[in-house]
Amino acid sequence: MNNNKKNSLENEIVNANINAEIEKLAEQFLEDLKIDLKELDDYFISITQNIHITEVCNLSKDLTHRLIGSAGLFGFTGIVDTLSKLNNLYQLLTSSNRNKNIIKVKIQAQLSKLKTIHQELLKAKTDNKPMLNLIPCQPNNLTNFVNHLRILIIEDDITSGELLFQILNPYCKYLNWSTNISSAMELLQSEIYDLVLLDLNLPDSHGLKTLETIQNIAHELPVIILTASNDIELSLKAISQGASEYLVKNMLKPDNLLNVILQVLEKQDRIDSKAKKALIDDFISILSHDLNTPIISALNCLEILKPNIKKKLTPEELIYCEKLQSSLMETQTSIKNLKEIYRLQQNADRLPKQQINLKSIFKTILAELNTEFKNKNLKVTLNIKDAKLNILANEELFRVIIMKLLYNTISYSMADSLITININLTKNNTINILISNEGKKINPSNAILNRPWSGVPGQTYVSRTGLGLYFANLIAKKHDGVIRCLGSKNNITSFKILWPNDLSN
């Protein structure tokens, strides 16, 4: 069985299990609704007899509000609509000057309608007809989260809580459920979570104060508010206060809930990555500043002292001073390389590229290195068959590659030797640049030139490789190019750059 079929089968099993549990909970909800309907009838009798009308209406509203959320999650739209109208009528009865007898008649009509819908659903169950539009297959990308999510549900309604638990449990490493803010606070202090599903109105906390309480202890966690209250003003305030989403139970399907959770987590990942990048940006800037400052100070001191110490130091001691100055300057270059490597890693996708004539750029670079060649009496030949051959690259960074490789070639070439640069286009339309030194051979164990191109990143080469060569290799990779060190097992004689000829397409 291939992986796709296996994953599909696993998804079907997960969905079937979720659907079976939801079906059981729906049946239990309908059975419990008989008791709730009897309670609403008793409330209605008290209202018609003018017994504590305001108090009884508030109790009725609390009951209908809870039932709206549960019925909404199950998808019982008829029950939701009827309960919503009942809820509004109870509100009218306590706040309106309209004819209260008419409102009572309307309440009775809605109660009768609710009983009829309830009986039809129970009959459908006994006739083995589907009561629910069961959830479809979950989004494929959610399979990546199976047994990984860590979610806290804060919900006081038992039916809603059980339903949410059944929907989410297959995807969770652990899933906790609290029915009040006090126990939720204890869980947040003792466990690590990825996300909180929050009902705003709990026995010991109400409204946006509930959200604020959660944020005070776990400000880094995304919070999805899941409530029965379809209040636009409240939803806007909740989002402005930092809630990731505001979902109304009776407008939500279980599969949509999973999608929303996934979207919120992906958004949080982007926020975390952005914050992490900003932190690293600050660290790199501070580090380069703090490393550069003492180096610049030391170089300035050497420059001031040099005229006076030349007469007092032996020739050998003067050489040491020159080496000290040179080492400090090399350290400055390494710090610059480090910053450039980081900059390239962060902005690789936005590299501006242009056509560069290879003969022209190599002639310019060789002219700039003329002094270095003369110091060792090195001869350089540039062989390029097609003088019009262009390359597509970021010019600044391409120059860095060539300069780094040539500097290394100069460093390890014997005096009076020959460096050759051959450039051509291969049969497979790849630009081939070969920089060779036919003089003294370089031992990789001493020169550590080959380490940027061998071994496992982070384990073998990064910490022991010169930043200049590492940077050159990184630039090539960001352009889909390759740099190789050629020679025998124990000796390197050439650098080869293979570059895609994107201009031919």
Alpha helices, DSSP H, located in 49-99: 53-74, 77-95
Model confidence pLDDT, tens digit, residues 438-469: 655 544 444 444 443 333 333 333 333 456 67
Residue 253 contacts by C-beta under 8 Å, 6 or more apart in sequence?
A: 75, 133, 135
At residue 224, the pLDDT reads 94
Checking if the pLDDT of 41 tops 90, the result is yes
Strand 354-357, strand 223-227: pairing: unpaired
Using CA atoms, how far residue 330 sits from 291, 299, 470, in Å, is 13, 12, 15
Q: Per mean pLDDT, which range of 17-31, 78-92, 345-359, 412-426 is the poorest?
A: 345-359
> Distance between CA atoms of 407 and 449, rounded to whole angstroms?
12
3-126 fold: Four Helix Bundle (Hemerythrin (Met), subunit A) (1.20.120)
Checking if the pLDDT of 223 tops 90, the result is yes
Q: 3-state secondary structure string, 186-254? A: HHHHHCCCCEEEECCCECCECCHHHHHHHHHHCCCCCEEEEECCCCHHHHHHHHHCCCCEEEEHHHCCH
CATH of domain 351-504: 3.30.565.10
Identify whether the C-beta of residue 400 lies closer than 8 Å to the C-beta of residue 440.
no
- Which tokens hold the place of 505? 């397409």
- Which tokens hold the place of 277? 């990048």
Angle 178-184-188 (CA atoms, 0-180°, nearest 5)?
A: 130
Put residue 355 in one of left, alpha, beta given phi > 0 → left and psi -120 to 50 → alpha: beta
More confident residue, 491 or 401: 401
Checking if the pLDDT of 62 tops 50, the result is yes
Q: Domain limits of the chain?
A: 3-126, 147-252, 275-347, 351-504
Phi, psi of 485 (to 5 degrees): -105, 125
| The residue to which tokens 């946006």 are assigned | 208
The pLDDT > 90 percentage for the chain reads: 26
Residue 15 contacts by C-beta under 8 Å, 6 or more apart in sequence?
A: 135, 136, 137, 138
Identify whether the C-beta of residue 142 lies closer than 8 Å to the C-beta of residue 262.
yes
The pLDDT > 70 percentage for the chain reads: 78
> Distance between CA atoms of 52 and 59, rounded to whole angstroms?
11
Checking if the pLDDT of 337 tops 70, the result is no
Query: Residue 34's closest CA among 124, 121, 158, 129?
Result: 121
At residue 114, the pLDDT reads 94
Q: What is the mean pLDDT of residues 302-319?
A: 80
At residue 251, the pLDDT reads 77
Helices (H) then strands (E): counts for the chain: 15, 12
> Distance between CA atoms of 254 and 213, rounded to whole angstroms?
27
Residue 329 contacts by C-beta under 8 Å, 6 or more apart in sequence?
A: 299
Query: Residue 16's closest CA among 126, 121, 162, 136?
Result: 136
> Distance between CA atoms of 286 and 289, rounded to whole angstroms?
5
Identify whether the C-beta of residue 350 lies closer than 8 Å to the C-beta of residue 376.
no
Model confidence pLDDT, tens digit, residues 157-190: 898 898 888 888 888 888 999 999 999 998 888 7
Model confidence pLDDT, tens digit, residues 185-222: 988 887 888 899 999 989 999 889 999 999 888 888 89
> Distance between CA atoms of 161 and 158, rounded to whole angstroms?
5
Model confidence pLDDT, tens digit, residues 97-115: 778 889 999 999 999 999 9
Model confidence pLDDT, tens digit, residues 382-430: 999 888 899 888 888 888 889 888 988 888 788 888 999 999 988 767 8
Query: How many angstroms from the chain centroid is the CA of residue 471?
Result: 26
More confident residue, 240 or 308: 240
Listed as own residue / partner, the contacts of 207-214 with beta carbons closer than 8 Å and 24 or more positions apart are: 207/234, 208/234, 208/237, 208/238, 208/241, 210/154, 210/181, 211/238, 211/241, 211/242, 211/243, 212/241, 213/181, 213/185, 214/154, 214/181, 214/184, 214/188
Equal fold, 3-126 vs 147-252: no
Q: What is the mean pLDDT of residues 478-503?
A: 74
- CB-count exposure of residue 94 (10 Å: 0-12, 13-18, 19+): middle
Query: Residue 154's closest CA among 207, 197, 192, 195?
Result: 197
| The residue to which tokens 């570059």 are assigned | 499
Query: Residue 29's closest CA among 69, 59, 85, 87?
Result: 69
> Distance between CA atoms of 119 and 115, rounded to whole angstroms?
6
Instruction: Say which CATH superfamily domain 147-252 falls into.
Output: Response regulator (3.40.50.2300)
